[in-house]
Amino acid sequence: MLISLFLISIVRADDLVIERTGDVLAVLIPVTAYGSTLYMDDFDGQIAFYKSIGVASVVTLGLKYSVKRERPDGSNTRSFPSGHTMYAFQGATFIYRRYGLQYALAAYTGALFVGYSRIKSDKHYLGDVLAGAAIGTLSSWFFTERYKTVTLSPLSQNGSYGMTLTYRW
């Protein structure tokens, strides 16, 4: 909720603040996704992250240099697809696929803002942003499996006591 209120206030900000915030989030989201694998000592997650971000980066750069679509602001011909949006959605989808939606909601909110900021700052067209989001999402979806955890929890029900064992995929 707090993140949503923060993002709403940024949307009302001037164009430079919107662009810079989108730039920061485009880096922060995948860094957070990778950092989560380090924090959880999740070696398999690290490998999945490398594969996902590597393939998405190669596809995005390959398209940028082969399609050569001019940016709306005329600054260069690397508009298609949006790299910022690809990185944001790659990180958000990695978090979702690996650790669950409850951890990815803030990342997806930030990723949507990144896409908005790229259009608002006149760096991309809607199609560029949608393509970047699709590349990042599909790459993480393909390479990332659910983090497997085993949870042992106490159970107390109707005067009976015991333990529950949960194996999460």
Q: How far apart are CA 143 and CA 33, in angstroms?
A: 14
Q: How far apart are CA 149 and CA 130, in angstroms?
A: 33
User: pLDDT truncated to tens, each residue of the chain (169 aa)?
Assistant: 555 555 555 556 688 888 999 999 999 999 999 999 999 899 999 999 999 999 999 999 999 999 999 999 999 999 999 999 999 999 999 999 999 898 999 999 999 999 999 999 999 999 999 999 999 999 999 999 988 765 556 767 777 776 654 555 4
Q: How far apart are CA 104 and CA 5, in angstroms?
A: 17
**Closest CA relative to residue 66, chosen from 123, 131, 116, 138:** 131
**Closest CA relative to residue 132, chosen from 45, 76, 69:** 69
Q: How far apart are CA 124 and CA 143, in angstroms?
A: 27
Q: How far apart are CA 45 and CA 38, in angstroms?
A: 9
Specify the pTM: 0.81
